[in-house]
Structures are given as structure tokens and as C-alpha cells.
Amino acid sequence: MTQDQPWVVTGIVAPSSPGVRPGDVLVVSQLSAGQDTVTCGSASLIAGELRRAGLTVHSGTLDDLGVTADEPVIAAALGQDTAERPCAIALTAATAATADSSTPTPDAVDRVLSRWRAALGPRTVLLAEPQSFCAGVERAIEIVEIALARFPHPVYMRKQIVHNTHVVRDLASRGAVFVDELDEVPEGATVVFSAHGVAPAVRQDAEKRGLNVIDATCPLVSKVHAEVRRYAMRGDRVYLIGHAGHEESDGTLGEAPGRTVLVQTAEDVRLLPDSDAPAAYVMQTTLGADEAETVVDALEQRFPGIRGPASDDICYATTNRQNAVRAVAADADLLLVVGSANSSNSLRLVERSAAAGTRALLVEDIGEVPLADLAGVRTVGVTAGASAAPALVDEIVANLQALGPVDTRTVRVAHETIRFGLPSGLSSLPARASAAETGQAER
Ligand code: SF4
């Protein structure tokens, strides 16, 4: 690829697509006419940057956007030799009456394309492995798919089934209705509890209302609930190391509300009132290993003899993804973490990278990666939280490959083979390939 000769097409077109208004910007990912096809693989990066600049942007193939190959700017583009050159096509929409090739490209488009040029260049991409979907998230999504296929619609989800905007949007488009609380669910309807778990009071409420409950609580969260019940039954005061307001913590606290105290930091522990009661602690499954250790140390100093879980409550998926980030961050100039802002395990990956001295960006998808952050960056680490789909990572890598030659390396710290069974009474959909067949959880 000749990095000093990027291929850029700008101009004015009159698209036929009814959703496009004059002044909108069209970012073309692929154009073809006859034998000629041009693919601009960093279209999603450019489209995201244009949206952040305040423009209304449509992205897709020429056909998607309702632009014909007869448009003068396209006809001229198709005649050029574009092989192996980074390309960008950003067209400004006008009406047929006002489309005029002498109309200047908006300044905002020029500025974005300048940033795109500055981001071009060869780089190394380090893929942290394991990353992306864990067994608990795969199971929760499969449970919702089964519920949508087997039960009358609408099928309700109490809270986000997993903390990821793309997953939620996709399931909503297939008929799932997301609610915050059960009083929004009509009596007798089907409701799915999220992977983060619920307090017993929520289960009782559902029973009272005659709801058909399907429980997608991750078995590793259920294990922590069981620990709380066991400690509380024998009279312990239970300290839950977790984050206030997180759904998992709320559910765990609800197992023994009179006996469980949430502590988030070592300072919280120092401020606890004295207590002679026997003490025990449990943890939220998605904590950072370092932060949890600090709080456990503080609890052990404050309450000598305090008992903890036989095996760590921080789950295998959280631990593996944090270890993989630690391995990648050492060699990366920048780490891209794919995940939503409310995803606890994704936030911990950002923190882990920062602790290693490597700047990390939390992004929902490639559209949120600022071009300026890629300029001059030669080694990019990429990971994804346990609730982010592998396809989002693939899209990031594809866009980076369109900016210049990329040497992609996998840095793997563990192989994940864990699978969780479905709740009793719920069997797989016949058409669905198993996770083992798709290899999704193996990423
Ligand atoms: S991150 Fe861990 S606890 Fe949470 S759903 Fe995945 S496997 Fe379960």
C-alpha cells in the first residue's frame, strides 16, 4: 500500500434515497460498476468522526445510499487506479436541481479527512485473548433467543440482559421489551431475569404477579448468592466487595439484606462500625483483581478471622480478560476496549491498562474511535469486555487494516472451554448451532 498516496473522493451528488436530505454526508464503503469495485475499509471510522463533528451521516455501498455510478464524481472515481491505496469517499448530498460540482466540500468534511490522512500508516495490532463473550453472556443471549421463539410476544427483560448496547438493541429489534422493574410487566407475561441476577424479593414479586419467569442469571453469580445465604444462615455479618448501584451487587445484597454490607474501598472498611459478630466476605464477579485485593486486606486487618469464599468470586472470564490486557498493554501505545460504559468488566479492563501505563479508550464500536487517537500510533492493543460481541472487534481490525499495512498478533494468556447449561425446562433451539460449533466463546 502506498501510504503517501491515499485516494480521496469528495463531491456533490443527488442521491435518490428518501432518507437522505440535502447537506447530509454519504460515506461510501464500496462502489462498483461493471468490473470495477472499490472498497474503502475505513468508512466506519470516517463516518463516526463525521457524526462527532455534528453532521448527519449515512454510510454504505453506493446502492445502499441511492447514488448512481453515473454521477460525475463517481464516474471519474471509477476510472482511477485505486489498487492497494487507502481510500475515503465522502459525498455531500444535494437535490438534483442544486447539485453542482463547483459547490465546495463542507469544511467539517475536509477537517475529518485531514485527520483520516494523519491516521494512515503501518501498525501492529495486538489482540488480547481471551476477549469478548464469556460463557455467562452466551448463555443469557441464548436464553432470550429461546424465549423469543417459544413464548408469546412481547417477551419482557427485567434490566439489560447483559450490559451491552449492541446486544440489547439487537434483541429489542427481535421482540424483546426491556423494562426496569416488574410493575411494568403485565400479569401472566413472560419475563427474563438478566445475567446479573436478582434479589429474592424480585422473584417473590414475580410469583405474586403470576409471571412466567425465565432466569438467565449467570451460574457464577448464583454461586455468590449461595455463599451469602450460607454465611448469613450461620450468623455471619457479610461484607460484599462490589460497586454501589450495580445490578449484580443489588441482587447479591438482597439475599440477606439485614446482614450484608456493601464495601467498595479500603476507606469504606476503615469507616465500618465495630462488630463482634463473625464476619465473612464475598465479591462482585467483575471486580478488578487489584482493587479487590486491597479491600480484602483491609477487611482482614479490621476483622481478623474473617472468612472468604473457597475460590475467588471474581469469575474466570473477568480474570482472563484482565490478565490478557496486562500482557498486551506492556507493548501497546494505545488499547481499544470494546464495551459499553455500564459494563463493569469492560471498565476494569480500561483501568488495568491505565495501571500498566498504557492509555485505553472504551468504545462501543469502531464508530467511536477518534481518528486523532490513531495518528502516529504504531501499536494498538484491542480487547473486548465479556458482553461485547466478537464481530465488533473484527470490524475494528478491518478498519485499521484499511489505514495501512497491519501486522496482527494474538497475545493469548488462557484458553476458555467453559460452557454453562441452560436452565431446567429450557432446551436449545433446533436451528441454533452450539457455541462449540461456532467457536464464539473460544475467541
Ligand atoms: S462475566 Fe463472569 S459472572 Fe459475568 S456473566 Fe460472564 S462468566 Fe458470568
Q: From CA 161, how far away is CA 197, in angstroms rounded?
A: 10
134 lines ligand 1 (CB under 6 A): yes
Considering the domain boundaries, does residue 1 fall inside one?
no
Residue 96 lies in a domain: yes
Atom of ligand 1 nearest to the CA of 345: 1
The pLDDT of 61-88, averaged and rounded, is 83
CA 160, 161, 165, 168 torsion: positive or negative? negative
Please identify, among 302, 326, 357, the residue that sits at the C-terminal boundary of a domain: 302
Q: Do 260 and 353 fall into the same domain?
A: no
325 lines ligand 1 (CB under 6 A): no
Q: Is residue 225 part of a domain?
A: no
Cell of 180: 426496569
CA of 411 to the centre of ligand 1 (A): 22
Pairing of strands 155-158, 190-193: parallel
C-alpha grid cell, residue 143: 436464553
What is the per-residue pLDDT across 127-173, written as a single tens digit (0 to 9) for each?
A: 999 999 999 999 999 999 999 999 999 999 999 999 999 999 999 99
What is the per-residue pLDDT for 438? 38
- Is residue 297, in this structure, part of any structural domain at all? yes
Q: Spell out a b/e string for 56-79, using b for 16 or more CB atoms within 10 Å of the CB, else e.
A: ebbbbebeebbbeeebebbeebbe
Q: Give residue 113's pLDDT.
A: 97
198 lies in the same domain as 209: yes
Q: Confirm whether 347 is domain-assigned.
A: yes
- Average of pLDDT values for 369-378? 98
Pairing of strands 123-129, 379-384: parallel
Judge whether 224 lies within some domain. Answer: no
Domain termination residue (choose one: 273, 302, 331)? 302
322 lines ligand 1 (CB under 6 A): no
Any domain includes 226: no
Residue 106, pLDDT score: 83
The reply to whether 101 and 23 lie within a common domain is yes
| Of the listed ranges 102-116, 145-159, 380-394, the one predicted with least confidence | 102-116
235 and 205, same structural domain? no
- Mean predicted confidence (pLDDT) in 208-236: 97
Span of 36-50, 188-202, 334-348 with lowest mean pLDDT: 36-50
- Domain CATH code at residue 158: 3.40.50.11270
Neighbours of 120 (CB within 10 A): 21
Query: What pLDDT sits at residue 82?
Result: 66
Q: How many domains does the chain divide into?
A: 4
Give pLDDT, residue 439. Answer: 38
pLDDT at 395 over 50: yes
Beta partners for residue 37, in sequence order? 32
CATH for 322: 3.40.1010.20
CATH number at residue 66: 3.40.50.1580
User: What separation, in Å, do the N-terminal and C-terminal C-alpha atoms of the chain show?
Assistant: 29
Place of cell 494505545: 334
Distance 292 CA to ligand 1 centre (A): 16
For ligand 1, say whether the CB of 136 is within 6 Å of any of its atoms.
Answer: yes
Tell me which residue has its CA closest to atom 6 in ligand 1. Answer: 136
Is the pLDDT at 268 greater than 70? The verdict is yes
> Using CA atoms, how far apart are residues 437 and 134, in angstroms rounded to an integer?
15
Pocket test for ligand 1, best of 160, 312, 318 (most atoms within 8 A of CB): 318
Cβ proximity of 119 and 435 under 8 Å: no
User: Where would I find the beta strands (DSSP E) of 132-175?
Assistant: 155-158
**Residues taking part in catalysis:** 248
Same domain, 140 and 210: yes
> How many beta carbons lie within 10 A of that of residue 357, not counting itself?
8
Residue type, 15: P
pLDDT, average across residues 202-215: 96
| 224 or 14, which is more confident | 224
- Name the closest-CA residue to atom 8, ligand 1: 136
- 394 CA from centroid of ligand 1 (Å): 22
In terms of pLDDT, which residue wins out, 310 or 437? 310
| pLDDT of res. 71 | 85
Pairing between strand 123-129 and 406-412? Answer: parallel
**DSSP E strand stretches across 350-395:** 359-363, 379-384
Measured from the CB, is residue 141 less than 6 Å from ligand 1? no
Q: Cα torsion at 289, 292, 293, 297 (round to 10°)? A: 180
Side chain identity at residue 64, one-letter code = D
Mean pLDDT computed over 181-208: 97
Output the CA 326–ligand 1 centroid distance in Å.
19
pLDDT given at position 39? 87
d(CA 302, CA 268): 11
More confident residue, 437 or 145: 145
271 and 361 inside one domain: no
Are both 109 and 159 inside the same structural domain? no
In a domain, 310, yes or no: no
* Structural domain for 278, as ranges: 231-302
In the predicted structure, residue 349 carries a pLDDT above the cut 90: yes
* pLDDT of residue 116 exceeding 50: yes
How is 39-81 classified by DSSP, letter by letter?
A: E-TTHHHHHHHHHHTT--EEEEETTTTT--TTSHHHHHHHTS-
Same domain, residue pair 344 and 399: yes
H/E element, 399: helix 390-401
Is 206 in a helix, a strand, or coil? Answer: helix
Most confident segment among 14-28, 104-118, 390-404, 426-440: 390-404
Mean pLDDT for the chain overall: 92
pLDDT band at 94 (very low <50, low <70, confident <90, very high): confident
Mean pLDDT of 290-310: 94
pLDDT at 101: 62
Distance CA 36, CA 32 (A): 5
pLDDT at 414 over 60: yes
Tell whether 206 and 235 lie within a shared domain: no
Element (H, E) at 220: helix 219-233
Confidence at residue 428, expressed as pLDDT on a 0 to 100 scale: 79
- Does residue 435 register a pLDDT over 60? no
Query: What is the model's pLDDT at position 440?
Result: 40
Cβ atoms of 222 and 197 within 8 Å: the answer is yes
pLDDT digits (tens, 9 = 90+) for 270-289: 999 998 889 999 999 999 98
Ligand 1 in reach of 315 Cβ (< 6 A): yes
- Going by alpha carbons, the residue nearest to atom 7 of ligand 1 is 136
Please determine, for residue 436, whether its predicted confidence score (pLDDT) is greater than 60: no
Q: Is 143 in the pocket of ligand 1 (CB under 6 A)?
A: no
Do residues 84 and 58 share a domain?
Answer: yes
Quick check: CB of 314 below 6 Å from ligand 1? no
Residues 26 and 96 occupy one common structural domain: yes
pLDDT of residue 18: 87
- What's the distance, CA 363 to chain centroid? 7
